[in-house]
Amino acid sequence: MSAVHIRFPDGTGRTFPGAVTIGEIASAIGAGLAKAALAGKVNGRLLDLSARIDADAEVMIVTSKDAEGLEILRHSAAHLLAHAVKTLYPDAQVTIGPVIENGFYYDFSYSRPFTPEDLSAIERRMAELAKQDLPLVREVWRREDAVQFFLAQGEKYKAELIKAIPEGQEISLYRQGDFIDLCRGPHVPSTGRIKVFKLLKVAGAYWRGDSRNEMLQRVYGTAWAGKEELAAYLTMREEAEKRDHRRLGVQLDLFHFQEEAPGAVFWHPKGWTLFQRLVAYMRDRQEKAGYVEINTPDVMDRALWETSGHWFNYRENMFTTVTEDERVFALKPMNCPGAVAMFAQGVKSYRDLPLRMAEFGKVHRYEPSGALHGLLRVRHFTQDDAHIFCSEAQMEAECRDVTRLIFQIYRDFGFTDVKVKLSTRPANRIGSDEVWDTLEGALRNALESMGVAYTLFPGEGAFYGPKLEFVLRDAIGRDWQCGTLQVDMNLPERFDIHYMDSENAQRRPVMLHRALFGSLERFVGILIEHYAGAFPLWLSPVAAVVLNISERQADYAAEVTQKLRKAGICAEADLRNEKITYKIRAHSLNRLPYQLIVGDKEKADQLVAVRTRSGQDLGQMSLDTLIAKLRKEVELRGSAA
């Protein structure tokens, strides 16, 4: 028996006389760690506490304080949910139960819909099974035996999943009490570790996401390390429901969707005003940063998409059509090939670089109907794309400039908590290691030279190049991935574009792909929820509404409205023959920044009485004073947001 040397993340180590389990390693370190341990990471691979190590290894003990530990806890909670359902409703068939952001779900096939009362009963049964502290034991089965076992149990979906597992891949099952489920693991050592959880809702979901298959019932839940974290999450979830952009979009008369155009937005006047404010804002920022704006066709021949590689890697997500002469065209799912085609027009010199080309390009991507979600997941949307063509020597400086611009723009919208992710070369990639070293180095050096903290995600880059992702945290603590910056030498190679250097020799440019809002539709949805519909003055589709107290002031209210509009302030008049208290209450629900009330006294003195949307009374002021105040507030932009 050979000694096993274990190294820990802090650089320390421990030697064991022979093979040792991860749980035994945790116990050797201390009773507290052994109690908290959920799993282990051995040479970067997550394993159960029962996994044996028989050779020298790097080991990290995973607890619920680690992101991986929380995921394992939630994954095990999904199995606990399935176990509870099978004990209460034996005829239900279990399918899949993955971890999702902040929780988990499990899909079931059952003869009738689950009711709220069912959810309560399932949750109580989960608590009972957790209290029994049943061990979760991993078992490796022969494929044929596993298929036959689940077919005998009436679990045709599990049998289908096993048949789809590639030959040669291990078939692992987990047993907890009398319940057995297919899973790669790892899992917590016993059900007693799953103490803080809650079931949230039931929704429909097609088997394997295909609308041609059976509709299943998806039970959503959440699990946390402690009661305080669960309470905080439920509070945030409740607040998020109040801010749901789909509900507020209707309430504020911004947009709607309808079945005849699934995944495409019908913008109402106020919503389109907000959309155009974002476009105008970004256009101004880009122009000042040295960008030129272009526009490329929405429909292009398949040959272009074959050259770019999208036809072979993204075909199932593209909308296509065939003309009378049998030419195949595609609605563009991305703007990049069009930008390359623009660069290829005419001879480019090193003096033309860096060439920063921006485009508010409409793109079309097929998303399954079940994945569509208001403005956040659509099929037809507008990207604030830009493609920067530069030399290798200019690449790092351009990365810095883009990163700086992203932070400045997000700050203007009130997003000050921004995290950066650096995703590096994946296993399946094109290009030499030397090229990848250059591209990754440019992104890493740009961030480090600016003092920007980042999290490394090894292997998560695109097949053609590494990328930065910018993640915003909103007003209630939710994270949204929006901006991206990718460096690419692949498309310039595929399209064979070049520029002439100072020696009149052909050189291949580097291509930077950059989006700051990402999808404008999605960014509008994020803003609606971030501000809860109460947009800052500079973004609000309507800055102020003028309310007359009686018919006697209708002419003056209309006059005030016109003067505000001439001053560049979007204002509306509400001249309805309603009580002023009714009108104030109605417009407070619409969350407009200001209400301007005019009665006989205001009309006589050529004043307006000003109220904020929060109900604060700012008193009477002249129209000139009000206009100066509003203009100053607009200028403050980010700080006012």
Q: Are 320 and 330 in contact (CB under 8 A)?
A: yes
Q: Are 255 and 268 in contact (CB under 8 A)?
A: yes
What's the maximum distance between 2 C-alpha atoms anywhere in the chain? 101
Give the separation between CA 151 and CA 170, rounded to whole angstroms.
19
Q: Bridge partners of 42?
A: 45, 59
**Amino acid letter at 136?**
L
- Give the pairing type, strands 544-548 and 594-598: parallel
Q: Are 231 and 114 in contact (CB under 8 A)?
A: no
The residues that are catalytic are 336, 365, 383, 385, 387, 467, 513
- Token look-up 């389990």 returns 21
Helix, strand and coil content of the chain, in percent to the nearest 5, comes to 40, 30, 30
- Token look-up 């994945």 returns 371
Q: Are 219 and 122 in contact (CB under 8 A)?
A: yes
Q: How many CB atoms lie within 10 A of CB 147?
A: 18
Q: Is 9 helix (H, G, I), strand (E, B) or coil?
A: coil
E strands in 404-491: 418-423, 455-457, 467-473, 479-488
Residue 194 has which token pair? Answer: 């799953």
Report the 3 state secondary structure along 257-308.
CCCCCCCCCEECHHHHHHHHHHHHHHHHHHHHCCCEECCCCCEEEHHHHHHH
Q: How far apart are the first and last CA of the chain?
A: 66
> Residue 505, exposed/middle/buried by CB under 10 A (0-12, 13-18, 19+)?
exposed
Residues listed for the chain: 641
Q: Is 639 helix (H, G, I), strand (E, B) or coil?
A: coil
- Give the pairing type, strands 607-612 and 4-7: unpaired
Give the separation between CA 551 and CA 255, rounded to whole angstroms.
32
Buried b (16+ CB within 10 A) or exposed e, 76-98: bbbbbbbbbbbbebeebbbbbbe
Q: What is the CA radius of gyration of the chain?
A: 30
Give one DSSP letter per residue of 412-433, joined into a string: HTT---EEEEEE---SS--S-H
Q: Are 282 and 517 in contact (CB under 8 A)?
A: yes
Q: Are 317 and 331 in contact (CB under 8 A)?
A: no
Give the separation between CA 372 and CA 263, rounded to whole angstroms.
6
Give the separation between CA 521 and CA 539, rounded to whole angstroms.
15
Distances (CA, A) of 273 to 270, 570, 596: 5, 10, 21
